[in-house]
């Protein structure tokens, strides 16, 4: 396996009695869109928290561009190009859409850069088909539009790695197509490494060249979309051919 641009190795996370991640190794390379799927509670968001530096793992290491960043903060990682979106949206509702993208670049600081930050925000909004919403308050947006704004904010400062946690959740079919186009553009044209968590299996299968399946905190399977789809263990745990587990699962 290639070392990848961002690589988690042997990650363990416990929450009291819950063993949320067990010896998880995942990596993603430049220009690649890698899917991360699995039932509710499989550990997908926890893995994103570890990759983005929001949670320190109990064991294991994170490497970025060949350097160990396990002890680097989430702020350091964001500033060095590792960006994420959130399953539960985290936009600044009382700011406009444009300002959400401007503040994402504020660390570049200084009056000198203020005009550049606005220019960059406008360009990204345009790329994401959001020109008309630039002046709207983010808090008043329908969920599907807010998902696109969250993605746009993650792109405001050019990312090298994108961690997308259910970006298509709550979107219409049209919005999903727009999201897919932007994600594909980031991988193909910007050489970005994308790790995509999504319950919409069709969305994942269409976009991802490789898919990793998590179940009960472990990597259950890994392969091309077709390989993963055909894997009996994956079908039983997640894709609906087996008995299922609990009411919460929603691979839709």
Ligand X SMILES: Nc1ncnc2c1ncn2[C@@H]1O[C@H](COP(=O)(O)OP(=O)(O)OP(=O)(O)O)[C@@H](O)[C@H]1O
Among 11, 43, 45, 186, binds Mg ion (CB under 5 A): 45
| Helix (H), strand (E), coil (C) string for 165-205 | ECCCCCCCHHHHHHHHHHHHHHHHCCCCEEEEECCCHHHHH
**Pick from Mg ion, ligand X, none: which does 41 bind, CB < 5 to 8 A by kind?**
ligand X
CA distances from 146 to 96, 109, 241 (A): 11, 26, 33
Closer Cβ to ligand X, 35 or 43, answer by number:
43
Is 108:117 a contact under the CB 8 Å cutoff?
yes
20 binds, among Mg ion, ligand X, none (CB under 5 to 8 A by kind): ligand X
Residue 220 beta carbon to ligand X: minimum distance, rounded to whole angstroms: 12
CA distance 239 to 252: 9
Give the chain's radius of gyration (CA, Å).
Answer: 18
Return the residue nearest Mg ion (CB atom): 45
Write down the least CB distance from residue 114 to ligand X, Å.
Answer: 37
Q: Which residues bind ligand X (CB under 6 A)?
A: 15, 18, 20, 38, 40-46, 87
**Binding letters toward Mg ion, positions 81-110, x by CB under 5 A:** ------x-----------------------
Geometric angle at alpha carbon 87, from 86 and 93, rounded to 5°: 60
Cα separation values, 190 from 36, 78, 122, 160, 187, Å: 21, 17, 18, 8, 6
Give me the least distance between CB of 20 and ligand X, in Å please.
4
The distance of closest approach from Cβ of residue 43 to ligand X in the complex, given in angstroms and rounded to an integer, is 4
> CB-wise, 6 or 163, nearer to Mg ion?
163
Kindly state the smallest distance separating residue 198's Cβ from Mg ion, in Å: 10
Binding residues (CB under 5 A) for Mg ion: these are 44-45, 87
């Amino acid at each position: 396996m290639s070392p990848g641009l961002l690589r988690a190795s042997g990650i363990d996370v416990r929450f009291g009695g819950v063993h949320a991640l067990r010896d998880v190794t995942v990596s993603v390379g430049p220009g690649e869109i890698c899917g991360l799927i699995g039932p509710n509670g499989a550990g997908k968001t926890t893995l994103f928290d570890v990759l983005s530096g929001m949670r320190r793992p109990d064991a294991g290491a994170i490497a970025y561009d060949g350097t160990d960043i396990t002890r680097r903060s989430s702020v350091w990682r964001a500033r060095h190009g590792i960006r994420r979106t959130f399953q539960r949206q985290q936009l600044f509702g009382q700011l406009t859409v444009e300002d959400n993208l401007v503040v994402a670049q504020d660390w570049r600081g200084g009056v000198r850069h203020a005009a550049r930050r606005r220019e960059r925000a406008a360009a990204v909004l345009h790329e994401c088909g959001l020109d008309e919403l630039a002046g709207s308050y983010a808090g008043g947006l329908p969920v599907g539009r807010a998902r696109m704004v969250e993605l746009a904010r993650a792109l405001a400062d050019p990312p090298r790695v994108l961690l997308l946690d259910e970006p298509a959740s709550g979107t219409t079919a049209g919005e999903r197509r727009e999201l897919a186009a932007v994600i594909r553009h980031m991988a193909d044209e910007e050489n970005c490494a994308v790790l995509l968590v999504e319950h919409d299996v069709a969305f994942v299968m269409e976009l991802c060249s490789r898919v990793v399946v998590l179940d009960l905190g472990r990597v259950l399977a890994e392969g091309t979309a077709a390989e993963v789809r055909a894997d009996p263990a994956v079908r039983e745990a997640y894709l609906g051919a087996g008995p299922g587990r609990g009411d919460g699962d929603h691979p839709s």
